[in-house]
């Protein structure tokens, strides 16, 4: 038996998120399980690293599964891609340690939140960016975003319904950049609470509009009160870019 690690990219537009659900709901995990079970003739259920929400995209989510199949690990990528819809792609497949678990092993994750900031959003951008027509002050967003870096209690940046008991996380870096009309917020950290990146994006958008400041972010982190942070920005702007396991293959 061997444990295979998949790096999975998807366009989240047409999926009810990553996690398999009852009742015929189409999810990325569900599609992967179907393709793998068809390929190996085994009953495969992958373990995913990140249960992305409905509409959220990924360039590098991670999934593992165990198989008796003799298909070489690196060939799973090709064999799966012919069985998967075009909006899900396995970018890499490789053998991993038998005890590697994508949610229990130490890692850092990088998310990107894209904002299209112009009067009108060009149609070819609409699926992968949140359209914000009010002109945002990117310098203010950059400055305020520094307050989030470091180890903090991010309780205020977590949607109701989260099961997390420990709400302390570390953000290693955050950047806000503008290229013509596109603003990109890139966040790297050791873990993220439910909707945390979308609430960070929603808060920084409020800062860009002059409705909130770095002081509000400080207060949110100190008090843990959700109302100091901004609203949850829409799913389509969010992409899980990369999950990096420091000590594991």
Catalytic residue among 11, 53, 181, 216: 53
Among 2, 19, 81, 108, binds a second copy (CB under 8 A): 81
SS3 letters across 152-221:
EECHHHCCCCCCCCCCEEEEEEEEEEEECCEEEEEEEECCCCCCHHHHHHHHHHHHHCCCCCHHHHHHHH
Which residues in 229-248 contact a second copy (CB under 8 A)? 239
Using only C-alpha atoms, the chain has a radius of gyration, in whole angstroms, of 19
DSSP state of 24: S
Among 43, 124, 163, 247, binds a second copy (CB under 8 A): 124
- Residue 11 found at the interface with a second copy (CB under 8 A): yes
Look up 98 and say whether it is catalytic. no
Q: Which stretch binds a second copy (CB under 8 A): 81-89, 145-153, 181-189, 211-219?
A: 81-89
Tokens of 197: 């990146």
Q: How far is the CB of 80 from a second copy (least distance, A)?
A: 10
Any idea how long the chain is? 249
Contact 128, 236 (CB under 8 A): yes
- Residue 121 found at the interface with a second copy (CB under 8 A): yes
- Residue 87 found at the interface with a second copy (CB under 8 A): yes
Closest to a second copy by CB, 14 or 37? 14
> Considering CB under 8 A, how many residues would be counted as binding a second copy?
23
CA–CA distances in Å: residue 79 to residues 37, 89, 137: 12, 11, 47
Task: Report the catalytic residues.
Answer: 53
Binding stretches for a second copy (CB under 8 A) = 9-11, 57, 59, 77, 81, 86-91, 119-124, 126-128, 239
């Amino acid at each position: 038996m061997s444990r295979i690690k998949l790096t999975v990219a998807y366009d989240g537009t047409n999926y009810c998120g990553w996690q398999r659900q009852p009742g015929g709901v189409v999810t990325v995990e569900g599609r992967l399980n179907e393709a793998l079970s068809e390929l190996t003739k085994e009953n495969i259920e992958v373990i995913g690293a990140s249960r992305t929400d409905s509409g959220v995209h990924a360039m590098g989510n991670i999934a593992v599964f165990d198989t008796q199949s003799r298909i070489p690990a690196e060939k799973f990528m090709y064999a799966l891609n012919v069985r998967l819809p075009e909006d899900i792609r396995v970018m890499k497949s490789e053998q991993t340690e038998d005890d590697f678990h994508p949610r229990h092993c130490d890692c850092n994750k990088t998310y990107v939140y894209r904002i299209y900031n112009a009067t009108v959003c060009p149609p070819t951008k609409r699926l992968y960016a949140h359209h914000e027509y009010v002109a945002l002050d990117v310098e203010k967003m950059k400055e305020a975003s520094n307050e989030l870096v470091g180890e903090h209690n991010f309780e205020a940046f977590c949607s109701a319904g989260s099961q997390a008991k420990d709400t302390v996380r570390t953000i290693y870096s955050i950047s806000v950049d503008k290229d013509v009309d596109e603003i990109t917020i890139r966040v790297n950290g050791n873990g993220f609470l439910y909707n945390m990146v979308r609430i960070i994006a929603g808060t920084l958008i409020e800062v860009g509009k002059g409705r909130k400041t770095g002081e509000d972010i400080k207060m949110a982190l100190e008090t843990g009160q959700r109302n100091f942070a901004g609203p949850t920005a829409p799913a389509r702007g969010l992409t899980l870019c990369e999950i990096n396991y420091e000590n594991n293959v």
